[in-house]
């Protein structure tokens, strides 16, 4: 990641110093983007074609918030407020707060929140601690729903409703 950031800075500065393999920073970034897209596509195909069916064979279904009924949403919201919310630490990212270090193999949420007074958008990061379950049983059957991906970020930023969020 540090190397990619360096390549981006060189490309933005218009530096055309070539690497040992003869590629310019822009050419290297293009190849990195292509390879990353290939890997992400392969990851998605393996999940959809192999992992999800294997989970289903074991009676496990990964479902989203929209697939839950009102009672399930109420129970999961209570679970979030009691078990997850107290251990989350949102961090603002702005000129006064530089982008925080994101450790490998950790789950983080990137959140864009909207200032209710000015309408301006701000970026923030929420690290989900390792001791927070990644999956939560929703029904008596083995259906499961990803807990952190569906975290309601509104309680984390009172008065700043989320306009967008990503899992990173």
**Tell me: the pLDDT tens digits for 143-164?**
444 544 455 556 666 666 666 5
Percent of the chain beyond pLDDT 70?
82
- Nearest CA among 106, 114, 112, 121 for reference residue 168: 106
pLDDT for residue 165: 53
Distance CA 70, CA 97 (A): 38
pLDDT band, residue 47 (cuts 50/70/90): very high
Does pTM top 0.75 for this prediction?
no
Q: How many CA atoms lie within 13 A of 140 on its CB side?
A: 0
User: Which of 109-148 are b and which e, b meaning 16 or more Cβ less than 10 Å from the residue's Cβ?
Assistant: bebebbeeeeeeebebbbbbeeebeeebebeeeebbbbbb
pLDDT digits (tens, 9 = 90+) for 70-129: 888 888 889 888 988 899 888 878 777 777 777 788 888 888 888 888 888 888 888 888
Q: How many CA atoms lie within 13 A of 168 on its CB side?
A: 15
pLDDT band, residue 30 (cuts 50/70/90): very high
């Amino acid at each position: 990641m540090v190397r990619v950031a360096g390549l981006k800075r060189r490309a933005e500065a218009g530096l055309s110093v070539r690497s040992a393999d003869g590629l310019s920073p822009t050419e290297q970034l293009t190849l990195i983007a292509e390879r990353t897209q290939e890997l992400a596509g392969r990851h998605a195909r393996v999940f959809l074609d192999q992992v999800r069916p294997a989970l289903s064979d074991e009676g496990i279904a990964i479902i989203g918030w929209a697939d839950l009924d009102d009672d399930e949403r109420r129970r999961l919201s209570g679970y979030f407020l009691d078990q997850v919310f107290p251990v989350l630490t949102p961090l603002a990212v702005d000129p006064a707060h530089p982008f925080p270090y994101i450790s490998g193999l950790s789950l983080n949420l990137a959140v864009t929140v909207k200032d209710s007074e000015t309408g301006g958008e701000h970026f923030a990061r929420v690290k989900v601690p390792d001791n927070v379950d990644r999956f939560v049983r929703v029904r008596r059957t083995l259906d499961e729903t990803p807990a952190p991906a569906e975290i309601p970020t509104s309680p984390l930023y009172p008065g700043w409703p989320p306009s967008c969020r990503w899992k990173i």
